[in-house]
Amino acid sequence: MITSIFRRPATASIVSLAMIVAFYVFFGGVDLGRMAGAASWLNFAANLGIVAVPVGFLMIAGEIDISFGAMIPAGSMATAIISGHYGLPIGYAMIAVLAMGLLMGLINGILTIRTTVPSLIVSLGTLVAMQGVILASSKVLTGKASVALTAPDWAKFAFGQLIGNGHQVIIIWWLVATFVFWFVLHMSPWGNWIFAMGGDKQSARNAGIPVNRLTIILFMLSATSAAFVGMCQAILFNSAQVSGGINIIFNVIVSVAVGGTLLTGGFGSVAGIFFGTITFAIVNQGIYFTQIDRNWSSLIIGIMLLLAVGMNESFRSLAFSAGGRKKKTKPS
């Protein structure tokens, strides 16, 4: 069990993580204890990580989804409009938000399997369309680009609470979701299907794997996860703003790629994406703990991305020649 958590795809992201921390300690004078206890990067990682794993699933399955960039603000705006502007119970807002995620995923999935349009373009289209929907509907319905809401205590407790030193409760959701996702991808037969789909779609179909159905489910999972994150943000901040969500797209894709996921499909791991997300969060947020001017952070991210993906490539070719984790004996 333990060994399969640390399967090869995660190795590079753990090494990147160690390198980044070492870099910040030696060149930025970071107090490791202070950074480890800080909420900033953990909050950042949690908000990213809940979306990054389902997006990673899609990538492993040979597809890509970027429409989550609009689903996060859509989830938070919908929560605020339904519960804040119209004053309906927050439960309705939650159901509506999750339904919206499922619907968005369904649309992405159906467009992907019914047409030959690559899913990058499909989700780019739905991303831009969703941005339009958010902007127009908030203008039409509320007349504002920012909507306030007051969530009841139970919703605050479950989704928008701050624990301890400013840690958002979403961190717990992130850890739970990561565990569930790990189980699905690495332990359940479903995970095998996802890998097979990304490895060779036609062979997967020939082997009796319901490729189309699974593609739709994976799109639904990623859109719904994004809507969930948006909902949590609205409840936490007591308000929602119209935003493009373009930055988050890059952040998620960098995390997934640093995590050892092969962009062309067939390879990756939940542990890898988990550590990739933490690495990205530490680069992004850890820079505030250093004496380094924070404007350099993008440069560091860029270099880290290239190094990590480079490492992933070489680890993968090692995996080919050496086989499993254990050393192989020479064939007799």
What are the residues binding other proteins (CB under 8 A)?
4, 187-189, 191-193, 195-196, 198-200, 202-204, 206-209, 262, 266-267, 316, 319-325, 328, 331
Of 295 and 321, CB closest to other proteins = 321
The sign one gets for the Cα dihedral 63, 203, 178, 14 is negative
Of 108 and 178, CB closest to other proteins = 178
Of 199 and 244, CB closest to other proteins = 199
Shortest distance in whole angstroms from residue 176 CB to other proteins: 15
Instruction: Please count the other Cβ atoms lying within 10 Å of the Cβ belonging to residue 122.
Output: 25
Of 125 and 200, CB closest to other proteins = 200
Shortest distance in whole angstroms from residue 203 CB to other proteins: 4
Q: Rounded to an integer, what distance in angstroms lies between the CA atom of residue 142 and that of residue 140?
A: 6
Structure tokens of 138?
A: 């908030």
Structure tokens of 119?
A: 């899913």
For residue 159, which of 111, 95, 229 has the smallest C-alpha distance? 229
Of 35 and 60, CB closest to other proteins = 60
Q: Rounded to an integer, what distance in angstroms lies between the CA atom of residue 245 and that of residue 237?
A: 17
Shortest distance in whole angstroms from residue 304 CB to other proteins: 24
Q: What angle do CA 225, 160, 72 make, to 5 degrees?
A: 30
Shortest distance in whole angstroms from residue 208 CB to other proteins: 4
Shortest distance in whole angstroms from residue 121 CB to other proteins: 25
Shortest distance in whole angstroms from residue 46 CB to other proteins: 25
Of 200 and 237, CB closest to other proteins = 200
| Residue 26 contacts residue 270 (beta carbons within 8 Å) | no
Of 103 and 184, CB closest to other proteins = 184
Shortest distance in whole angstroms from residue 40 CB to other proteins: 36
Shortest distance in whole angstroms from residue 178 CB to other proteins: 17
Of 45 and 209, CB closest to other proteins = 209
Of 24 and 195, CB closest to other proteins = 195
The residue assigned the tokens 């970071």 is 30
Shortest distance in whole angstroms from residue 262 CB to other proteins: 7
